[in-house]
Structure 1
């Protein structure tokens, strides 16, 4: 009986203790050891430019898609590598509840990436892209689907038209 009381007391005290999260190792550190890339490095968004940022919804939230709308360029992490693509300007009114979609054809990899979701609330950081999915259509027709978290933001707070190419 005495061991049961000690275990019960330990559980009660543990429930009252403030949990301090253990520091997590950076995602890139583990991936560098294996030679595979699991996440994009931090990206900077210059003044006057707008961008889209997407992370995996599962923890740890890996940064896997970055589109600089103003420069018409996207970086995606796929199959252990970073794929950089030019993109066609894709405008969308950021109205809460409206659908969101971006297409990123990658003919050099014989893949088509797409991100779909719903325009969410506007925060101080930008507009959330909710219930978002990253899809990768493979040459065989198979599709990989991954839930993601998204944010669209402009460095100055106002959209800038994409530069002509």
Structure 2
């Protein structure tokens, strides 16, 4: 009989320990854990030299819907990716553009305007973001539409301060609201 009582006492003690461990495990599971950052061999080699890898400026999201006022024209450019995203918007004669860089919406100031005339825009434009990135927009005009014109082939080139360049193929439209 003494052996059964000892076994029951030991079993009760184990169940108490298990309950304590379960509570502790629940507390740990509910706390957000930081995922370990995996670094490629190339990133590790750069880090060993005291350098950092390039930061990706390719948008993973798009601009929200952009609207035009009456008698206003705009230039809308979408990335040629799957899915395509609105990544550039410019109002005619505004001197600035709204651009998605990485996943941040920035208003960039126009620094150059050249090329051929495309409605109220030029086919080559340069912009400077507040953080110092240079954005070059170049495109080829496409077929005319009622109230606008297509852009079937173009590119948005983003140059970071460190000199890294990213080229994003784009398509779009220039449109005017009556």
TM-score interval, smaller chain: 0.5 to 0.7
Q: CA RMSD of the aligned region, Å?
A: 2.4
Q: 5+ residue gaps in structure 1?
A: 1-35, 157-165
Are the counterparts in 2 of residues 39 and 77 from structure 1 also a CA contact under 8 Å?
yes
In the TM superposition, what is the alpha-carbon distance from 1:37 to its structure 2 partner? Answer: 6.7
> How many Å separate the matches in 1 of 2:82 and 2:167?
16
In the other structure, the counterpart of 2:175 is: 153
Question: If you compute each CA radius of gyration, which structure gives the higher value, 1 or 2?
Answer: 2
In the other structure, the counterpart of 2:53 is: none
> How many Å separate the matches in 2 of 1:101 and 1:127?
16
Q: How many residues align?
A: 117
> How many Å separate the matches in 2 of 1:147 and 1:83?
19
SS at 2:77's partner residue? strand
Within a 5 Å distance, the mapping from 1:2-151 to structure 2 comes to 38-87=61-110, 90=113, 92-94=116-118, 100-106=123-129, 108-124=130-146, 126-151=148-173
Are the counterparts in 1 of residues 95 and 109 from structure 2 also a CA contact under 8 Å?
yes
Are the counterparts in 2 of residues 72 and 89 from structure 1 also a CA contact under 8 Å?
no
Q: Deviations over 1:12-35 (max 9, x none)?
A: xxxxxxxxxxxxxxxxxxxxxxxx
SS at 1:76's partner residue? strand
In the TM superposition, what is the alpha-carbon distance from 1:88 to its structure 2 partner? Answer: 5.8
Q: How has the CA–CA distance of structure 1 residues 69 and 90 changed in structure 2, closer, same or farther, with 3 Å as cutoff? A: farther
Are the counterparts in 1 of residues 147 and 177 from structure 2 also a CA contact under 8 Å?
no
Q: Deviations over 1:86-128 (max 9, x none)?
A: 4368475238xxx82111112x211100111111111125211
Are the counterparts in 1 of residues 110 and 125 from structure 2 also a CA contact under 8 Å?
no
